[in-house]
Amino acid sequence: MSKLLKLLLPLLLTSILSKAQPVPGTDENIPNLVTFGSEGETYWGDDNFCQIIFFAVPENFNSPIYIRVFDPDTGGDNDEVQGEWNTRTRFSVYGGKGSCSNQDARDGNLDGDYDSGSELDSKIFGNDPEYNLNWYTFGPYNPSEGEYLPEDGGYIFKVIIEGISGDDGNMYRLFLSNNANDNHEVEGAFAYYFKYKFRMHDDVTQTSHIYPYLNDTSTVYIKQSNFDWDKDGIILVRSVARPGSPMKISADDDWAESNFKIKKEEYFSSLDIRMVKNKSAHIRNNNVVIRLENQDGKGLKLYSVPIGGVPKYIPKPTHRKVKAQ
């Protein structure tokens, strides 16, 4: 992250703080995150039954913070049953040196040191009615218990969600709060992720979004990879320089990849990756996975808010030649 962005990031986020705390974020318009039990089938929309979310707390914030989970159990109307409810999901919070800077954690490499750092908390949820459609709170944590990464936004906490048994789908949401019993914003905080697993809307009129930010000019092109999209509509890249460039989408239990070259006008701004449903197929309960990386294979952060705001396409002015009289 450039020195200029370190200074500007809190200012860019100031106007959208209320949208920065939940995951999925308000502007993402995504119903729920999803993690299946470890005995699930990948064609249900989870490639490895693990999700990793990072929360950034600004270094000048000194009050305790809490990480709250909505509907952490698997066994209610919000979840996806496969036969009988038998899934157990572990939610773990990590901080300390190496917890978030470790490349395996950023890549979601389950064969590597993805659970690096110090485990601050962990809890396993099964079919627990007391948590169905209710919030569970981890914490409190001193912000300094996170890994200090000023280039990533301050003190960073890692949340790992793993399906450790069973085959059902656990739908849930997260919130970073300064209150143990309610969702109160942590000023200047935000979330990011490198690989995102979530449930698409059933309503074909709804469009979901993810928001990478190009914080320097080193990215020449972006490779997007998506899994198990079931050919459900289209994925478009929208920015200040493009009205909507289509990307390849995957079929059932399959990966699809495509590249798009970055335009100079897109540096130091957010991209709006728009996921538009198939209006005629009416596909329901569609769980998907998406990841973006640069030309060197380095994963790009997907932010819970569009830094600098949702990008608006600015068409280039056209100049018509005037014939001489």
Indicate if the pLDDT at residue 318 is higher than 80: no
- 17-71 pLDDT, tens digit per residue, is 445 689 999 999 999 999 999 999 999 999 999 999 999 999 999 999 999 999 9
Three-state DSSP at 169 gives strand
Q: Which of the four pLDDT bands, split at 50, 70 and 90, describes residue 205?
A: very high
The domain containing residue 191 runs over which residues?
3-303
Residue 19 has a pLDDT of 55
Average pLDDT score over residue span 115-121: 98
Return the H-helix or E-strand segment holding 8: helix 3-14
Residue 21 has a pLDDT of 83
Indicate if the pLDDT at residue 1 is higher than 80: no
| Backbone phi, psi, residue 262, to 5° | -80, 135
Residue with tokens 């906490």: 157
Indicate if the pLDDT at residue 14 is higher than 80: no
Whether the full predicted model's pTM is greater than 0.85, yes or no, is yes
Least confident of 227-241, 284-298, 306-320: 306-320
Sequence-distant (6+) residues with CB within 8 A of 297 are: none
Residue 278 has a pLDDT of 95
Does residue 60 lie in a domain region? yes
Does residue 308 lie in a domain region? no
Indicate if the pLDDT at residue 15 is higher than 50: no
Does residue 76 lie in a domain region? yes
Q: What is the mean pLDDT of the chain?
A: 93
Does residue 135 lie in a domain region? yes
Amino acid at 118: S
Indicate if the pLDDT at residue 80 is higher than 60: yes
Indicate if the pLDDT at residue 151 is higher than 80: yes
Average pLDDT score over residue span 242-271: 96
**What are 243's two structure tokens?**
């009205």
Residue 304 has a pLDDT of 92
Residue with tokens 């048994």: 165
Does residue 233 lie in a domain region? yes
Sequence-distant (6+) residues with CB within 8 A of 71 are: 78, 79, 131, 132, 133, 134, 171, 172, 173
Q: What is the count of structural domains for the chain?
A: 1
**What are 228's two structure tokens?**
């198990």
Average pLDDT score over residue span 131-157: 97
Average pLDDT score over residue span 150-173: 97
Does residue 198 lie in a domain region? yes
Does residue 23 lie in a domain region? yes
Among residues 14, 6, 5, which one has the least CA distance to residue 188? 14
Does residue 155 lie in a domain region? yes
